[in-house]
Amino acid sequence: MSGAGEIVFDRVSKTYPGRQGHALEELSLDIPGGTFCVLVGPSGGGKTTALKMVNRLISFDSGDIRIDGRSVRELPAVELRRGIGYVIQQTGLFPHMTVGDNVATVPRLLGWEKARVQARVAELLDLVGLEQGDAKRYPAQLSGGQGQRVGLARALAADPPVLLMDEPFGALDPITRHRLQLELRRLHREVAKTVIFVTHDIDEAITMGDRIAILREGGRLAQYDTPDAILANPADAFVEQFIGEDRALRRLALRHVGDVQLSHVQGTVPGTWPEVAVTTTVRNALSLMVGSGSDGVLVVGDDGAAKGVLELKQVEELLR
């Protein structure tokens, strides 16, 4: 499989026999190639169901799912899956295989030569931040975070255009989780794959997603847009409640003061105004203003030179 990995859900529906209501109801999503798309929502929203339909671990009743214009039903399931990376929460690492053998699984299924497999394993361990020596270890000897790194390396092994991730960081402690979130974002910029990432955590969705699809009970799509647009204009009361009353602050957290049009420093800046770095989020800058009782902050570049000021009234304008 090659191509950019555009994924289209076209009115996909599913009901489970003997169960009330839909698992998924007429889900339509257009996920452009290279997008990091997060499926988020309460349990019973069908987000994992939707994810597993892409690699056909779960079947659908009607509609279609296409990757680069080709229906996932066209290929034999086994062949389809070898072209799609798959990461799950419990890692699903093979306990009886070393880290290296785990990562080599799909390349070997595809019949790669030994030397190529070895080189790829080494490259991937590097990419996900593991040491070469880890290749000889067994999954039982890894920490939760390391296990999930191996899971990611294994999923990326054959360089698939599409990566499916089912609550990959759900079982990790908050610190490890945050670190892996940041690294996955960085990785995504490097490898340019279409990612579908399932989580029930709206914070994670906002941090990770280029686009967020919010699913609600009964497998209905509540809203599908960029994090900023969803926070600015929630589609209905359900979305509003799901993203929380602090959505204005969440929006500010998405932007860095360095990306905002700053005012020029005119005259002297009041000495009580806090100094912040360009990489500070607007949310944290606001917090400093409120905390220090000042009407603005002084933004300082990496070299220590003042870049400009961000005033309280500008922050309000950002939210308009």
Partner 1 sequence: MRAHWGDTLQPRLVEHVELTLIAVSLGFLFAFGLALLSHRIRVIEQPIALAAALIYTIPSVAAFLVLLPVYGVSTTTIVIPLTGYSLVILYPNIVAGLRAAPQDVLEAARGMGLTSGQVLTRVELPLALPAIIGGLRIAVVSTVSIATIAALIGGKGLGGPIFLALQEPTPFRTEIYSAGGLVVALALACDLVLVGAKRSLIRWTR
Interface residues toward partner 1, by CB under 8 A:
52, 55, 57, 77-83, 86, 88-97, 105-106, 109, 138-141, 151, 154-155, 164
Query: Measured from the CB atom, is 97 or 229 closer to partner 1?
Result: 97
Q: How many residues does the chain have?
A: 320
Query: Measured from the CB atom, is 171 or 318 closer to partner 1?
Result: 171
Q: Which helix (H) or strand (E) holds 307?
A: strand 306-311
State in angstroms the smallest separation of the CB of 146 from partner 1: 16
CA 306, distance to chain mean position in Å, is 34
Q: What is the dihedral of CA 93, 196, 252, 243, to 10 degrees?
A: -90
State in angstroms the smallest separation of the CB of 29 from partner 1: 20
Cα–Cα distance list, 129 to 158, 172, 187, 235, 265 (Å): 18, 17, 11, 39, 42
Query: Measured from the CB atom, is 51 or 206 closer to partner 1?
Result: 51
Query: Measured from the CB atom, is 84 or 289 closer to partner 1?
Result: 84
Provide the token pair at 234: 């929630």
Are the C-beta atoms of residues 307 and 279 closer than 8 Å to each other? Answer: no
Cα–Cα distance between 200 and 289 in angstroms, integer?
32
State in angstroms the smallest separation of the CB of 296 from partner 1: 51
Query: Measured from the CB atom, is 106 or 262 closer to partner 1?
Result: 106
State in angstroms the smallest separation of the CB of 140 from partner 1: 7
State in angstroms the smallest separation of the CB of 105 from partner 1: 6
Query: 242-251 contacts: CB < 8 A, separation 24 or more?
Result: 242/41, 242/42, 242/202, 242/214, 242/216, 243/202, 244/202, 248/319, 249/283, 249/286, 250/203, 250/206, 250/283, 251/318, 251/319
Query: Measured from the CB atom, is 54 or 214 closer to partner 1?
Result: 54
Number of other residues whose CB lies within 10 A of the CB of residue 123: 13
Cα–Cα distance list, 182 to 108, 178, 200, 229 (Å): 30, 6, 18, 22
State in angstroms the smallest separation of the CB of 6 from partner 1: 21
Query: Measured from the CB atom, is 156 or 253 closer to partner 1?
Result: 156
State in angstroms the smallest separation of the CB of 52 from partner 1: 8
Query: Measured from the CB atom, is 16 or 94 closer to partner 1?
Result: 94
Cα–Cα distance between 270 and 131 in angstroms, integer?
49
State in angstroms the smallest separation of the CB of 90 from partner 1: 4
Q: Strand pairing of 296-300 and 275-277? A: parallel
